[in-house]
C-alpha cells in the first residue's frame, strides 16, 4: 500500500505542477494581455512582409523580422504623427479665431438663448440662468476654482499618454520575437494541444482569417466614416472640417462612442449660432449617413472573408465590445468564427459506424 500511494503521488505531481505554473504565468502576464493580443494581430498582418523579405534574402530571419517590424511601426506611428500635426495646426487656427473675434462663445450662447422658446427661457430665468452676464461671471469663477482639478486632469492625461507609449513599445518589442520565432512557437504549442491536428489547422486558419478581416474591415470602416463626415462638414461650411474628419475616423474605432463624439457637438454649435438648416442637416447625416456606414460596411467586409452571416458579425461585434471593451471589436467576431468553424466540422463529420457483435 505505501508503494501504491507513493506511485500515485508521483503520477499526480507533474500535472499539479504544470497547472500551478500555468495559473501563475497567467497571473503574471494578465496585465499585458491586450499588448500580447495586439502584438499577435500585428504579427499576422505583417507576416507577409517578412515572408517577402525572406524569399529574396534567405537565411536572414532577424533582418526579415526587423523589416516587418519597421512596416508595423510606420503603420502605427505615422497616423498618430499626422493627427498630432493637423491637430496642432487646427488648434492654433482656433486660437487665432478666438483672439480676432471671429469665434465668440458668448455670442454663440446668446444666439442659443435667442432661439429658445419663451417658455424655456422663462424656466431658465426662474432657475437663475436667465442673465447671460451673471452666467459668464459664474463660469469664470468656477474655472478659477477648478484650476487645481484641471491640473490634476492634465496630469492624468499625461499619464495616459505615457501608458499608451509604453503599450506601443511592448507591442513592438513582442512583435519582433513573434515575427522571428512565431512559427516555431506555434509548432511547439501544437504538440502540447490535446486536440486533433485537423482541428488545430482549422482553428489556426480561422484565427488568421478573422484577424485580417476584422482589422482591415475596422480600418476601412473608420476611414470611410471619417471621410464621409469630413465631406459633409465641408459641404455645410464647417471650419476645421479636415481635423474633425480625422478625429471622427479615430472616434469610429472607439466602442460606445463612435463618430457622434464629434458631429453631435458640432451640430449643437451650428444650432446655437443660428445656422439651423446646417445643424439639422448635420444631425440627419450623422444618424442616417455617417452612422449607417458602420452597420453596412462592417458586416460586408468581415462576413465576406469569414463566411459568417451579417447578423452574426454585427451581434458578435456588439457583444464583444460589451464584454471586452475595445478588444471586443476583434475578440467578438473571432469567438463567433471559431465556434462556427468547429461546430460545422463536428456536424459535418460522418457518424461513427458501430459493428454488430458476432453471433
The 3-class SS string of the chain reads: CHHHHHHHHHHHHHHHHHHHHHHHHHHHHHHHHHHHHHHHHHHHHHHHHHHHHHHHCCCCHHHHHHHHHHHHHHHHHHHHHHHHHHHHHHHHHHHHHHHHCCCCHHHHHHHHHHHCCHHHHHHHHHCCCCCHHHHHHHHHHHHHHCHHHHHHHHHHHHHHHHHHHHHHHHHHHHHHHHHHHHHHHHHHHHHHCCCCHHHHHHHHHHHHHHHHHHHHHHHHHHHHHHHHHHHHHHHCCCCCHHHHHHHHHHHCCCCCCCCHHHHHHHHHHHHHCCCHHHHHHHHHHHHHHHHHHHHHHHHHHHHHHHCCCHHHHHHHHHHHHHHHHHHHHHHHHHHHHHHHHHHHHHHHCCCCCCCCCCC
How does residue 232 score in pLDDT terms, banded at 50, 70 and 90?
very high
pLDDT attached to residue 281: 92
The answer on 259 and 184 residing in a single domain is no
**In this structure, is residue 86 part of a structural domain?**
yes
243 or 227: which leads in pLDDT: 227
CA torsion 46-47-50-54 (nearest 10°) is -160
What percent of the chain is modeled with pLDDT above 70?
73
Q: How many domains does the chain have?
A: 2
Please tell me the total number of residues recorded for the chain in this structure.
Answer: 359
Q: Which domain holds residue 322?
A: 195-349
76 or 3: which leads in pLDDT: 76
211: pLDDT strictly greater than 60 = yes
**In this structure, is residue 18 part of a structural domain?**
no
The answer on 216 and 101 residing in a single domain is no
Residue 127, Ramachandran bin (φ over 0: left; ψ between -120 and 50: alpha; else beta): alpha
Per the CB < 8 A criterion, the answer to whether 244 and 261 are in contact is no
Q: Is 209 exposed, middle or buried, given 0-12, 13-18 or 19+ CB atoms closer than 10 A?
A: middle
The answer on 270 and 201 residing in a single domain is yes
345 or 288: which leads in pLDDT: 288
How does residue 284 score in pLDDT terms, banded at 50, 70 and 90?
very high
What's the rounded Cα separation, in Å, for the pair 221 and 297? Answer: 6
What is the pLDDT averaged over residues 237-244?
82
Range in 131-135, 241-245, 281-285 the model is least confident about:
131-135
pLDDT attached to residue 339: 87
304: pLDDT strictly greater than 60 = yes
37: pLDDT strictly greater than 80 = yes
**In this structure, is residue 138 part of a structural domain?**
no
Per the CB < 8 A criterion, the answer to whether 255 and 286 are in contact is no
pLDDT attached to residue 150: 43
202 or 128: which leads in pLDDT: 202
Neighbouring C-beta atoms of residue 184, cutoff 10 Å: 9
Domain end position, chosen among 162, 192, 222: 192
Range in 88-102, 232-246, 291-305 the model is least confident about:
88-102
179: pLDDT strictly greater than 80 = yes
The answer on 274 and 179 residing in a single domain is no
Cβ-count burial 107-145 (b if 16+ within 10 Å, e if not): ebbebbeeeeeeeeeeeeeeeeeeeeeebeeeeeeeeee
The answer on 331 and 213 residing in a single domain is yes
pLDDT attached to residue 52: 92
**In this structure, is residue 140 part of a structural domain?**
no
What is the pLDDT averaged over residues 225-242?
88
pLDDT tens digits for 111-163?
Answer: 556 656 666 566 666 665 555 556 556 555 554 554 455 445 544 545 566 77
14: pLDDT strictly greater than 70 = yes
**In this structure, is residue 246 part of a structural domain?**
yes
Domain end position, chosen among 142, 167, 192: 192
pTM of the model: 0.65
What's the rounded Cα separation, in Å, for the pair 122 and 128? Answer: 10
Q: What is the CA radius of gyration of the chain?
A: 28
pLDDT attached to residue 103: 56
pLDDT attached to residue 157: 45
The answer on 304 and 173 residing in a single domain is no
**Crossing angle of helices 132-145/105-115, nearest 10°?**
130
Sign of the torsion formed by the C-alpha atoms of 20, 23, 27 and 31: positive
**In this structure, is residue 356 part of a structural domain?**
no
The answer on 203 and 187 residing in a single domain is no
The answer on 206 and 172 residing in a single domain is no
**In this structure, is residue 114 part of a structural domain?**
no
Domain end position, chosen among 161, 192, 223: 192
The answer on 174 and 265 residing in a single domain is no
The answer on 203 and 181 residing in a single domain is no
Range in 25-29, 79-83, 311-315 the model is least confident about:
79-83
180: pLDDT strictly greater than 60 = yes
The answer on 181 and 38 residing in a single domain is yes
**In this structure, is residue 116 part of a structural domain?**
no
The answer on 208 and 87 residing in a single domain is no
pLDDT tens digits for 330-358?
Answer: 888 888 888 888 888 887 766 554 455 45
- Which among 83, 74, 81, 78 is positioned nearest to 45, based on CA atoms? 74
- Tell me what the pLDDT averaged over the chain comes to: 76
What is the pLDDT averaged over residues 320-327?
78
Amino acid at each position: 500500500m505505501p508503494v501504491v500511494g507513493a506511485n500515485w503521488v508521483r503520477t499526480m505531481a507533474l500535472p499539479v505542477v504544470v497547472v500551478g505554473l500555468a495559473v501563475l504565468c497567467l497571473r503574471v502576464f494578465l496585465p499585458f494581455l491586450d499588448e500580447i493580443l495586439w502584438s499577435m494581430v500585428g504579427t499576422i498582418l505583417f507576416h507577409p512582409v517578412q515572408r517577402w523579405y525572406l524569399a529574396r534574402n534567405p537565411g536572414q530571419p532577424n533582418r526579415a523580422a526587423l523589416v516587418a517590424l519597421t512596416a508595423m511601426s510606420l503603420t502605427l506611428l505615422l497616423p498618430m504623427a499626422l493627427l498630432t500635426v493637423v491637430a496642432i495646426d487646427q488648434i492654433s487656427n482656433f486660437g487665432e479665431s478666438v483672439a480676432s473675434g471671429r469665434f465668440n462663445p458668448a455670442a454663440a450662447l446668446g444666439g442659443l438663448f435667442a432661439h429658445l422658446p419663451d417658455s424655456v427661457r422663462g424656466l431658465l430665468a426662474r432657475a437663475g440662468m436667465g442673465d447671460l452676464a451673471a452666467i459668464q461671471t459664474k463660469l469664470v469663477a468656477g474655472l478659477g476654482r477648478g484650476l487645481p482639478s484641471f491640473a490634476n486632469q492634465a496630469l492624468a492625461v499625461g499619464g495616459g499618454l505615457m501608458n499608451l507609449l509604453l503599450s506601443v513599445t511592448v507591442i513592438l518589442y513582442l512583435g519582433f520575437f513573434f515575427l522571428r520565432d512565431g512559427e516555431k512557437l506555434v509548432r511547439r504549442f501544437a504538440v502540447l494541444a490535446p486536440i486533433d491536428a485537423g482541428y488545430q489547422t482549422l482553428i489556426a486558419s480561422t484565427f488568421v482569417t478573422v484577424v485580417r478581416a476584422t482589422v482591415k474591415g475596422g480600418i476601412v470602416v473608420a476611414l470611410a466614416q471619417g471621410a464621409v463626415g469630413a465631406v459633409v462638414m465641408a459641404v455645410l461650411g464647417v471650419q476645421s472640417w479636415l481635423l474633425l474628419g480625422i478625429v471622427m475616423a479615430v472616434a469610429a474605432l472607439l466602442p460606445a462612442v463612435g463618430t457622434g463624439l464629434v458631429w453631435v457637438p458640432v451640430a449643437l454649435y451650428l444650432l446655437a449660432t443660428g445656422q439651423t438648416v446646417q445643424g439639422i442637416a448635420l444631425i440627419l447625416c450623422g444618424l442616417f449617413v455617417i452612422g449607417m456606414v458602420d452597420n453596412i460596411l462592417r458586416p460586408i467586409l468581415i462576413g465576406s472573408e469569414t463566411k459568417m452571416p451579417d447578423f452574426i458579425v454585427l451581434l458578435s461585434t456588439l457583444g464583444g465590445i460589451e464584454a471586452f471593451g475595445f478588444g471586443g471589436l476583434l475578440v467578438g467576431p473571432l469567438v463567433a468564427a471559431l465556434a462556427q468553424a468547429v461546430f460545422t466540422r463536428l456536424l459535418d463529420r460522418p457518424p461513427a459506424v458501430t459493428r454488430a457483435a458476432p453471433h
